[in-house]
Amino acid sequence: MSKNLDEIDLRILSEIQADGRITNVELAKRVGISPPPCLRRVRTLEEEGYIQGYRGLLDPRKLGFDVTVFASVHLSSQADADLRAFEAFVRGEPLVRECWMLSGEVDFILKCVAPDMATFQDFVTHLTAAPHVRNVRTSLVLHNSKYEAVVPLEVKGRG
């Protein structure tokens, strides 16, 4: 937790995480300050990168993306240029929703969504042919038991 954040900043962040559409007037009321300083604090939090953006969370299944898969990707080279090239490749792939570089056996894990298995299989064929991809292992999501797209601000300073 940054030493620059006070309790009001943390309450602002918590409220915005819970409801990104909250008005400044309501936010100020909930955190106990007047609207003008609340707006200044929100703008500062945005400028400093604590708030990266605002978006709606959509249900992929309701929009026809019935398949969610995690793909573990092992590259044949871990040279910086090859890692960056793979990241650039992945950024251009619309089925890839998240890409995380890992330490250990797997170089990257990708969270992918697709409308059906045939579309995902076509993507895997394309992925395995990408430069420096040694192998790809996929795991089909059967069920999601927890999805919290927020930072646990209530957990601070442990350890």
Report if residue 57 sits inside a domain: no
> Which whole number is the average pLDDT over 96-117?
97
On whether both 136 and 83 belong to a single domain, the answer is: yes
Residue 4 or residue 142, greater confidence: 142
In a domain, 56, yes or no: no
- Amino acid of residue 110: L
CATH of the domain at 30: 1.10.10.10
Rounded to whole angstroms, how far apart are CA atoms 115 and 64? 6
Tokens, residue 14: 């918590």
> CA 113, CA 15: separation in Å to the nearest integer?
29
Report residue 105 CA to chain centroid gap: 22
Q: What is the DSSP letter of 56?
A: P
What pLDDT band is residue 100 in, cutting at 50, 70 and 90? very high
Q: Which CATH number characterizes residue 102's domain?
A: 3.30.70.920
Does some domain include residue 80? Answer: yes
At 144-154, the pLDDT tens digits run 999 988 899 88
Beta carbons of 75 and 107 less than 8 angstroms apart: yes
Mean pLDDT of 66-76: 97
pLDDT value at residue 159: 45
Range list of H helices, 67-116: 80-91
Q: Is 127 a member of any domain?
A: yes
How far is 76 from 87, CA to CA, in rounded Å?
A: 14
Residues 72 and 43 in one domain: no
> How many folded domains does the chain comprise?
2
Domain enclosing residue 95, as ranges: 67-140
Model pLDDT for residues 6-37, shown as the tens digit of each residue: 999 999 999 999 999 999 999 999 999 999 99
Q: What are phi and psi of 69, to 5 degrees?
A: -140, 140
Same-domain check for residues 71 and 25: no
- pLDDT band of residue 158 (cuts 50, 70, 90) is very low
